[in-house]
Amino acid sequence: MQAINELIRNRKSLRIPFDINRKVSPENIKQILEAGSWAPTAHNMQNFEILLIDDLAKIEEVRSISLPPSQTFIQENYLQLSFSEEDLRRKRTGVLATMFPKSWLTPTLIPENRQKEEAEQLTENHHQLLPCPLLMIVLYNPSRRAPGSEGDFLGIISIGCVLENIWLMATSLGISMHVISALGNQIAENKIKEMFAIPAYFKIAIAFRLGYPAGSISDTLRVRRDLHDFTHHNNFKGNYFH
Ligand X SMILES: Cc1cc2nc3c(=O)[nH]c(=O)nc-3n(C[C@H](O)[C@H](O)[C@H](O)COP(=O)(O)O)c2cc1C
Strands 176-180 and 81-82: unpaired
For residue 83, the cross-strand partners are none
- Dihedral angle at the C-alpha atoms of 136, 158, 71, 222, nearest 10 degrees? -80
- Cβ proximity to ligand X, 4 vs 25, nearer residue: 4
- Cβ proximity to ligand X, 28 vs 181, nearer residue: 181
- Cβ proximity to ligand X, 24 vs 67, nearer residue: 67
Give the binding site for ligand X (CB under 6 A): 12-13, 15, 95, 179-182, 206, 222
Task: Report, in Å, the least distance between residue 211 CB and ligand X.
Answer: 15
For the beta carbon of residue 124, count every other beta carbon within 10 angstroms. 12
Task: Report, in Å, the least distance between residue 12 CB and ligand X.
Answer: 4
Q: Where are the alpha helices (DSSP H) in the chain?
A: 4-10, 26-37, 56-63, 71-79, 85-91, 116-122, 153-172, 186-195
Task: Report, in Å, the least distance between residue 206 CB and ligand X.
Answer: 6
- Cβ proximity to ligand X, 59 vs 206, nearer residue: 206
Task: Report, in Å, the least distance between residue 80 CB and ligand X.
Answer: 9
Task: Report, in Å, the least distance between residue 228 CB and ligand X.
Answer: 20
Residue 14's Cβ-side half-sphere holds a number of Cα atoms within 13 Å equal to 25
Distance (Å, whole) CA 14 – CA 8: 15
> Mutual orientation of helices 186-195 and 56-63 as an angle, nearest 10°?
150
- Cβ proximity to ligand X, 33 vs 156, nearer residue: 156
Q: CA distances (Å), 34 to each of 50, 84, 144, 167, in order?
A: 12, 39, 21, 12
